[in-house]
Structure 1
Amino acid sequence: MPEMNRRTALGTGAGVIGAAMAGGGNAPAAATEPAQQGSPHLFPLTTSAPSEYDGGSLRGAHEQNFPVLAGQNGSVYFVTLEVGGIREPHWHPSAWELTFIISGKAKWTILGTHADGGYHNDVFTAEQGDLVFIPQGFFHYFENAGEQPLQVLVVFNTSSIEPNDDIGIMGSLNSIPRDVLAATFGVPASAFDQVPTEVKPVVITRRK
């Protein structure tokens, strides 16, 4: 299978998060409308054109649509997960992530190395007013754990479009030959027959 370039697959625009995760997204190119006329320092984030997915939507302010951010190592995303929505499991090779819960309840899973040399899988619930920090390179995702839409604001220490620094689980699995996956998990290669081979930009999905 040819190597998949996630950045190319996502184009110049899928926008926010935050994840990134398993099955069926249909993301359009993210909006790249300029900052509001009248001030180069003002951007209408929550009313900007969203990228729509099966499980929610995202809106982003980054150096391509908010030029004042160019070279500033900063970008911001407004993410909505509908009931049952999931941000595709993913990690950011060159950026940390700071997420503020605006409304709703989120279940988080964060996996990373720690000072004792081991891996720790941190699973917890965050609610309105909570702040969550994900160190650079940590594998993570979040899902809507409530009965109303979940809205979060995500800040990255990068000025680029978020998926350009986003390695999702779908793309990761499909970069590994099935026989290598089988050897790693200790199961027959046929166990992965149901994993789609066509890599699509999932980013936000939904429990079926």
Structure 2
Amino acid sequence: MNPDLMSPSLTLMADSNEVVNYKRDPHNYITQLFAAQFPPIQNGFFNVRLSRGIIVQPHWHTNVTELVFVISGEAVTSVFNPFTQRLMTYRLGPGQVAQFPKGWFHWIVALSDEAQLLTIFDQPTPDVVYGSDFLRFLPKEIAGRAYCVDEAAYAEAVAPIRESVILGPPPGCMQREEDQYAARQMPPYPGLHPFQPPYSAYYPHMQPEPYPTQPQMPYPEFGFL
């Protein structure tokens, strides 16, 4: 028997909006409900709100399997299958779900404004390993020796990553993109926020339209089975 259930002060209600895990800006933030906030809980979760083009950065969990449930808006989830060496990508709408097995590398990109997701874990509190931390703490000499990449180029590429990035791109990044577009005299993409790349920019080998009639399934045209 869970001792929390035997407590005379037991409460079986909590507010997942109260504790902010991370806030990028007023429209992009994550709140949480874990054992620290709600002791009886058996499956903690993040309540995630995103704007179009914002990414829940690449990361993995050492102790939990994660279920992503879309409440509103659209998002694309990607997870690397270490057994088949394949990237499994799914476009999700309201009511649809995707799963990230424990230890599998994954990320989420919002395809619409005001997207809301629940990322539900099978343990009360997840461990998180951020890809940004791996990149910024990997010595350039090790990157060069391990992957035969140019050490100076690697150091320059990861230099802007000065802290853990949870919701990206980091503030200011879109301004840099705007400056680059202006320098190349490239107009914004039609139908998107100014200077926000289209869906294909996140997945260059994928075609954003047409989409299959079963969006919860992998897309053959994306090159994934």
User: What secondary structure does 1:201 align onto?
Assistant: coil
For structure 2, the 5+ residue unaligned runs are: 1-8, 175-225
When the two structures are superposed, what TM-score results if normalisation uses the length of structure 2?
A: 0.65
After superposition, what is the alpha-carbon deviation per residue over 1:33-64, rounded to whole angstroms, capped at 9, x for unaligned? xxxxx96110122x324331147111111111
Among 44, 56, 68, which residue is 1:75 paired with? 44
Residues 199 and 159 from structure 1, CA distance in 2 versus in 1: closer, same or farther, beyond 3 angstroms?
farther
* Alignment partner of 1:158 is 2:120: no
After superposition, what is the alpha-carbon deviation per residue over 1:145-166, rounded to whole angstroms, capped at 9, x for unaligned? 12x2210011111222x4xx11
The answer on whether the counterparts of 1:57 and 1:80 sit within 8 Å (CA) in structure 2 is: yes
Using the TM superposition, give the Cα deviation of residue 95 of structure 1 relative to its aligned residue in structure 2, in angstroms: 0.7
Among 88, 91, 103, which residue is 1:137 paired with? 103
The answer on whether the counterparts of 2:90 and 2:98 sit within 8 Å (CA) in structure 1 is: no
Could you say which residue in structure 2 is the equivalent of 1:181? 143
Could you say which residue in structure 2 is the equivalent of 1:63? 35
The percent identity for this pair of structures is 21
* Alignment partner of 1:194 is 2:143: no
- Structure 1 residue identity aligned to 2:104: F
* Alignment partner of 1:120 is 2:86: yes
Residues 201 and 174 from structure 1, CA distance in 2 versus in 1: closer, same or farther, beyond 3 angstroms?
closer
Could you say which residue in structure 2 is the equivalent of 1:40? 11
- Structure 1 residue identity aligned to 2:18: S
Using the TM superposition, give the Cα deviation of residue 65 of structure 1 relative to its aligned residue in structure 2, in angstroms: 1.1
Aligned residues: 160
Could you say which residue in structure 1 is the equivalent of 2:209? none
Using the TM superposition, give the Cα deviation of residue 92 of structure 1 relative to its aligned residue in structure 2, in angstroms: 0.5
Pick the structure with greater CA Rg.
2
Q: List structure 1 segments (4+ residues) > 6 angstroms apart after TM superposition.
A: none
For structure 1, the 5+ residue unaligned runs are: 1-37
Residues 174 and 143 from structure 1, CA distance in 2 versus in 1: closer, same or farther, beyond 3 angstroms?
same
After superposition, what is the alpha-carbon deviation per residue over 1:11-37, rounded to whole angstroms, capped at 9, x for unaligned? xxxxxxxxxxxxxxxxxxxxxxxxxxx
RMSD between superposed Cα atoms in Å: 2.1
User: What secondary structure does 1:200 align onto?
Assistant: coil
From the two aligned structures, give the one with the greater helix fraction.
Answer: 2
